[in-house]
Amino acid sequence: NAGVTQTPKFQVLKTGQSMTLQCAQDMNHEYMSWYRQDPGMGLRLIHYSVGAGITDQGEVPNGYNVSRSTTEDFPLRLLSAAPSQTSVYFCASRGQGYIQYFGAGTRLSVL
Amino acid sequence: TQLLEQSPQFLSIQEGENLTVYCNSSSVFSSLQWYRQEPGEGPVLLVTVVTGGEVKKLKRLTFQFGDARKDSSLHITAAQTGDTGLYLCAGRLAGGYQKVTFGTGTKLQVIP
Protein backbone atom coordinates (compact mmCIF):
# COMPACT_ATOMS: atom_id res chain seq x y z
CA ASN A 1 0.00 0.00 0.00
CA ALA A 2 1.86 3.07 -1.29
CA GLY A 3 -0.32 5.77 0.34
CA VAL A 4 0.63 9.19 -1.09
CA THR A 5 3.42 9.30 -3.68
CA GLN A 6 5.13 12.52 -4.73
CA THR A 7 7.55 12.97 -7.61
CA PRO A 8 10.16 14.24 -8.03
CA LYS A 9 11.85 14.26 -4.61
CA PHE A 10 14.24 17.05 -5.59
CA GLN A 11 14.16 19.66 -8.33
CA VAL A 12 16.24 22.68 -9.28
CA LEU A 13 14.70 25.25 -11.61
CA LYS A 14 15.83 28.49 -13.16
CA THR A 15 13.68 31.58 -12.72
CA GLY A 16 10.92 31.60 -15.31
CA GLN A 17 10.85 27.85 -15.94
CA SER A 18 7.66 25.89 -15.48
CA MET A 19 7.18 22.45 -14.01
CA THR A 20 4.60 20.07 -12.58
CA LEU A 21 4.85 18.38 -9.21
CA GLN A 22 3.09 15.05 -9.28
CA CYS A 23 0.97 13.58 -6.49
CA ALA A 24 -0.89 10.28 -6.51
CA GLN A 25 -2.82 8.45 -3.79
CA ASP A 26 -4.20 4.91 -3.75
CA MET A 27 -6.60 5.24 -0.80
CA ASN A 28 -9.60 6.48 -2.81
CA HIS A 29 -9.74 9.70 -0.79
CA GLU A 30 -11.87 12.51 -2.12
CA TYR A 31 -10.02 15.36 -0.40
CA MET A 32 -6.46 16.21 -1.47
CA SER A 33 -4.32 19.24 -0.83
CA TRP A 34 -0.97 20.87 -1.50
CA TYR A 35 1.10 22.65 1.14
CA ARG A 36 4.40 24.43 1.14
CA GLN A 37 6.68 24.36 4.16
CA ASP A 38 9.09 27.16 4.93
CA PRO A 39 11.22 27.59 8.09
CA GLY A 40 9.26 29.04 10.99
CA MET A 41 5.96 29.10 9.07
CA GLY A 42 4.61 25.60 9.46
CA LEU A 43 2.63 24.30 6.51
CA ARG A 44 0.70 26.74 4.35
CA LEU A 45 -2.15 25.56 2.16
CA ILE A 46 -1.73 26.31 -1.56
CA HIS A 47 -4.71 24.59 -3.19
CA TYR A 48 -7.10 21.82 -2.27
CA SER A 49 -9.68 19.61 -3.94
CA VAL A 50 -12.80 17.98 -2.49
CA GLY A 51 -13.18 15.61 -5.42
CA ALA A 52 -12.51 15.06 -9.12
CA GLY A 53 -13.24 18.23 -11.06
CA ILE A 54 -13.43 20.47 -7.97
CA THR A 55 -10.54 22.60 -6.75
CA ASP A 56 -10.25 25.71 -4.60
CA GLN A 57 -7.60 28.12 -3.40
CA GLY A 58 -5.85 27.97 -0.06
CA GLU A 59 -3.81 30.62 1.76
CA VAL A 60 -1.00 31.08 -0.80
CA PRO A 61 -2.30 30.17 -4.29
CA ASN A 62 -0.53 32.81 -6.40
CA GLY A 63 1.87 31.36 -8.97
CA TYR A 64 0.39 27.85 -8.74
CA ASN A 65 -2.28 25.99 -10.70
CA VAL A 66 -3.98 22.70 -9.98
CA SER A 67 -6.45 20.38 -11.66
CA ARG A 68 -8.15 17.17 -10.53
CA SER A 69 -9.22 14.97 -13.42
CA THR A 70 -9.18 11.72 -11.41
CA THR A 71 -9.62 10.79 -7.75
CA GLU A 72 -6.06 9.44 -7.64
CA ASP A 73 -4.02 12.33 -9.06
CA PHE A 74 -3.62 15.96 -8.01
CA PRO A 75 -0.73 17.68 -9.85
CA LEU A 76 0.59 21.12 -8.88
CA ARG A 77 1.87 23.37 -11.68
CA LEU A 78 4.34 26.20 -11.30
CA LEU A 79 3.69 28.47 -14.24
CA SER A 80 6.80 30.67 -14.11
CA ALA A 81 9.07 29.75 -11.22
CA ALA A 82 10.37 32.50 -8.93
CA PRO A 83 13.01 32.33 -6.15
CA SER A 84 10.21 32.95 -3.62
CA GLN A 85 8.83 29.53 -4.56
CA THR A 86 11.91 27.78 -3.21
CA SER A 87 10.41 25.52 -0.57
CA VAL A 88 9.46 21.99 0.38
CA TYR A 89 6.12 20.97 -1.09
CA PHE A 90 3.85 18.37 0.48
CA CYS A 91 0.82 16.69 -0.98
CA ALA A 92 -1.76 15.15 1.35
CA SER A 93 -4.94 13.15 1.03
CA ARG A 94 -7.55 13.01 3.75
CA GLY A 95 -9.50 10.07 4.99
CA GLN A 96 -12.16 9.62 7.65
CA GLY A 97 -11.87 11.70 10.80
CA TYR A 98 -10.02 14.41 8.90
CA ILE A 99 -6.81 12.37 9.13
CA GLN A 100 -4.33 13.64 6.55
CA TYR A 101 -1.76 11.34 4.99
CA PHE A 102 1.27 13.14 3.61
CA GLY A 103 3.74 12.29 0.90
CA ALA A 104 7.49 12.49 1.52
CA GLY A 105 7.74 15.93 -0.07
CA THR A 106 9.40 17.60 -3.05
CA ARG A 107 12.35 19.86 -2.32
CA LEU A 108 12.37 22.66 -4.88
CA SER A 109 15.08 25.25 -5.43
CA VAL A 110 14.54 28.13 -7.85
CA LEU A 111 17.72 29.93 -8.85
CA THR B 1 -0.57 36.65 10.61
CA GLN B 2 -0.72 32.94 11.45
CA LEU B 3 -4.08 31.60 12.58
CA LEU B 4 -2.39 29.12 14.90
CA GLU B 5 0.67 30.21 16.89
CA GLN B 6 2.87 27.62 18.53
CA SER B 7 5.31 28.15 21.36
CA PRO B 8 8.09 27.70 21.89
CA GLN B 9 9.48 27.71 18.37
CA PHE B 10 12.55 25.72 19.43
CA LEU B 11 13.15 23.50 22.44
CA SER B 12 16.31 21.63 23.39
CA ILE B 13 16.12 19.46 26.50
CA GLN B 14 17.92 16.58 28.19
CA GLU B 15 16.56 13.06 28.01
CA GLY B 16 14.23 12.42 30.95
CA GLU B 17 12.94 15.98 31.25
CA ASN B 18 9.30 17.00 30.83
CA LEU B 19 8.09 19.61 28.36
CA THR B 20 4.94 21.32 27.15
CA VAL B 21 4.23 22.77 23.72
CA TYR B 22 1.39 25.24 23.20
CA CYS B 23 -0.86 25.96 20.24
CA ASN B 24 -2.93 29.15 20.52
CA SER B 25 -5.48 31.01 18.43
CA SER B 26 -8.18 33.65 18.76
CA SER B 27 -10.46 31.50 16.59
CA VAL B 28 -12.69 28.59 17.57
CA PHE B 29 -11.96 25.20 16.04
CA SER B 30 -14.17 22.18 15.39
CA SER B 31 -11.20 19.93 15.91
CA LEU B 32 -7.51 20.17 16.48
CA GLN B 33 -4.79 17.72 15.54
CA TRP B 34 -1.15 17.22 16.46
CA TYR B 35 1.38 15.88 13.96
CA ARG B 36 5.05 14.94 14.28
CA GLN B 37 7.44 15.36 11.39
CA GLU B 38 10.90 13.87 11.12
CA PRO B 39 13.59 15.25 8.78
CA GLY B 40 13.02 14.36 5.14
CA GLU B 41 9.52 13.05 5.73
CA GLY B 42 5.95 14.29 5.76
CA PRO B 43 4.02 14.92 8.99
CA VAL B 44 2.36 11.96 10.69
CA LEU B 45 -0.80 12.33 12.76
CA LEU B 46 -0.49 11.74 16.51
CA VAL B 47 -3.94 12.64 17.78
CA THR B 48 -7.22 14.44 17.07
CA VAL B 49 -9.20 16.26 19.79
CA VAL B 50 -12.74 17.43 19.14
CA THR B 51 -14.39 18.31 22.46
CA GLY B 52 -13.59 21.37 24.57
CA GLY B 53 -11.64 20.28 27.65
CA GLU B 54 -10.81 16.90 26.13
CA VAL B 55 -7.63 15.17 27.28
CA LYS B 56 -6.05 12.31 25.35
CA LYS B 57 -3.02 10.27 26.29
CA LEU B 58 -0.68 8.45 23.94
CA LYS B 59 1.92 6.66 26.11
CA ARG B 60 4.10 9.52 27.47
CA LEU B 61 2.29 12.20 25.44
CA THR B 62 -0.74 14.05 26.84
CA PHE B 63 -2.86 16.26 24.60
CA GLN B 64 -5.41 18.77 25.83
CA PHE B 65 -8.00 20.82 23.95
CA GLY B 66 -8.93 24.09 25.63
CA ASP B 67 -12.42 24.52 27.07
CA ALA B 68 -13.22 27.25 24.52
CA ARG B 69 -11.69 25.17 21.68
CA LYS B 70 -9.24 27.98 20.83
CA ASP B 71 -6.04 26.37 22.09
CA SER B 72 -4.31 23.09 22.75
CA SER B 73 -1.24 21.76 24.49
CA LEU B 74 1.05 18.78 24.14
CA HIS B 75 2.89 17.55 27.23
CA ILE B 76 5.68 14.99 27.02
CA THR B 77 6.76 13.20 30.17
CA ALA B 78 10.31 11.87 30.50
CA ALA B 79 11.36 12.81 26.97
CA GLN B 80 13.38 10.32 24.94
CA THR B 81 15.70 10.89 21.99
CA GLY B 82 13.05 9.29 19.77
CA ASP B 83 10.75 12.22 20.53
CA THR B 84 13.04 14.54 18.56
CA GLY B 85 11.22 16.13 15.65
CA LEU B 86 8.98 18.97 14.50
CA TYR B 87 5.59 19.08 16.23
CA LEU B 88 2.75 20.74 14.35
CA CYS B 89 -0.76 21.53 15.49
CA ALA B 90 -3.49 21.78 12.86
CA GLY B 91 -7.07 22.96 13.23
CA ARG B 92 -10.31 23.01 11.32
CA LEU B 93 -12.29 26.17 11.94
CA ALA B 94 -15.77 25.87 13.45
CA GLY B 95 -18.53 26.55 10.96
CA GLY B 96 -18.24 23.57 8.65
CA TYR B 97 -15.02 24.55 6.93
CA GLN B 98 -13.14 21.86 5.00
CA LYS B 99 -9.72 23.48 5.14
CA VAL B 100 -7.19 22.58 7.80
CA THR B 101 -4.75 25.26 8.98
CA PHE B 102 -1.36 24.36 10.41
CA GLY B 103 0.50 26.04 13.22
CA THR B 104 3.99 27.49 12.98
CA GLY B 105 5.64 24.38 14.45
CA THR B 106 7.85 23.54 17.45
CA LYS B 107 11.21 21.97 16.77
CA LEU B 108 12.15 19.64 19.64
CA GLN B 109 15.61 18.25 20.22
CA VAL B 110 16.12 15.69 22.99
CA ILE B 111 19.75 15.30 23.96
CA PRO B 112 20.96 11.97 25.38
Predicted confidence (pLDDT) per residue in B36-93, tens digit: 999 889 999 999 999 999 999 999 999 999 999 999 999 999 999 999 999 999 998 8
CA atoms within 13 A on the CB side of A9: 4
Identify the pLDDT of residue A41: 75
CA dihedral B65, A30, A40, B13 (to 10 degrees): 50
In this predicted structure, the answer to whether residue B1 has a pLDDT above a threshold of 70 is: no
Identify the pLDDT of residue A40: 73
Interface contacts A/B by beta carbons within 8 Å: 61
User: Which strand (E) or helix (H) includes residue A36?
Assistant: strand A31-37
List residues of chain B with CB under 8 Å from any CB of chain A.
2, 4, 6, 9, 31, 33, 35, 40-45, 48, 88, 90, 92, 98-105
- With beta carbons under 8 A apart, name residues in chain A contacting B25: none
In this predicted structure, the answer to whether residue B102 has a pLDDT above a threshold of 80 is: yes
Identify the pLDDT of residue B95: 79
Residue from the list B33, B88, B98 with its beta carbon closest to the beta carbon of A42:
B88
Residue from the list A40, A58, A103 with its beta carbon closest to the beta carbon of B42:
A103
Residues A79, A108 contacting (CB under 8 angstroms): no
Query: What b/e string do you get for A34-69 counting C-beta neighbours within 10 Å, with b at 16 or more?
Result: bbbbeeeebbbbbbbbeebeebeebbbbeebebebe
